A and B are shown apart, each in its own frame.
Chain A
Amino acid sequence: MLPLCSRVLLSHPFSPMSLMALREQLNMLVNSMYIEGLLDQQFQQLQMLQDASSPGFVAEVINLFCEDAERILTELTKDQAVVDFQKVDAYVHQLKGSSSSVGAQNVKLACIQFRQFCEENNKDGCLNALNVVKHHYYLLRNKFDTMLQLEQRIQAYDSKQQN
């Protein structure tokens, strides 16, 4: 829980101190995501690609990843009574690829385990693995949502300062 002074300052979105608090909050959030294993160094690579000429690059990649991941998870959740292991493996392969490209470490690792169960034609293993992947994905998505909200607030403040 943030100290009272920070909470008061954050309620005034364009006060000078709130920008610092927002940046600190964002840094703390991202650092915690690395520490908890939600993100790996690939995410840093994406951050390094973002600059003044492409200020929304990371947000775009995150949004593309989330759309793609949710499409795949929806497909994987269908028709669980009969498991087509090859089809499931293909979907999980896609999700593993995109999570690797974004730096979504826990999701990627869960997908690797999931594919192992597919190779073994292990239905129970696959169903459990799906739950694990979902758990890690939705945890990550919540943090990404917070991250993007903070970035938007920081950018709004910067835009106001420039005008």
Chain B
Amino acid sequence: MEEEAKKERNEEVESDGGDGGVEMVRVLVVDDSPVDRKIVEMLLKKSGRMFEVIAVDSGEKAMEVLGLSEVTIGRPHFNDQKIDVILTDYCMPQMTGYDLLKAIKEHDSLKSIPVVMMSSENDPQRISRCGGIGAEDFILKPLKIKDVQRLRTYAVPRTPISKSGTKRKLPVDLVAENSGYETCQRVAKVAVA
């Protein structure tokens, strides 16, 4: 029954899961660029099958996935899809990544979900702004494999991911070498068709 409910929810958003029956880190990717979404999805897929990806193209849709949207009918179910970490672009039209971050961190049921920002540009002010309200990290685009691998360090899996049942320690080289924030230049909010 849980699988059927999961299947129904996943039909509404892009989702690429890994092996059935193995709990992995569930990542919500938020980016208005279809190119970047595709690339990030592939990077996550290539990272040793550790991630299950749900990708949306706006902050508003991310809010729906998390159960924060006013569109949700009836009693809201927060984080129904059990998102373990959110990877969001900073510069998006209408609802920016910062707006999304703020909304999540202001919500009691969701504020524990780690949020990692992505940006193509450096802006120290913006980085510190995001860090100031709880962003875990700021990653410069274009992303590399090592960037997505370090998402594992932020997410706490719901259950062990190893099929054999033995505990896996995170290799030291996957720990973020540089947790310094990168900046993102401010972009005017523009409605994009």
Contact = CB atoms under 8 A, between A and B. Distances in A.
B142 A87 contact: no
Interface string B176-192: 00000000010111101
Contact of A54 (B33, B36, B42): B42
Nearest to A115: B185
B193 interface: yes
30 contacts: A42-B142, A45-B144, A46-B39, A49-B39, A49-B43, A57-B42, A60-B38, A61-B35, A61-B38, A64-B35, A64-B38, A75-B193, A86-B188, A87-B188, A89-B188, A90-B187, A90-B188, A90-B190, A93-B185, A93-B187, A94-B32, A94-B192, A96-B120, A97-B33, A97-B36, A98-B33, A98-B35, A100-B142, A101-B33, A102-B35
Interface in B76-98: 91, 93
A68 B141 contact: no
B33 A94 contact: yes
A58 B144 CA distance: 16
A157 interface: no
Interface string B37-81: 011001101100000000000000000000000000000000000
Contacts of B33: 68, 94, 97-98, 101
The A contact surface, by secondary structure, is helix
A60 B187 CA distance: 27
Interface residues of B, number: 24
B39 A61 contact: yes
Contacts, number: 63
B34 interface: yes
B190 A101 contact: no
Given A42-B142, A46-B39, 16 more contacts: A45-B142, A49-B42, A49-B43, A57-B42, A61-B38, A86-B190, A93-B185, A94-B32, A94-B33, A94-B192, A97-B91, A97-B120, A98-B33, A100-B120, A100-B141, A101-B39
B54 to A, nearest CB: 19
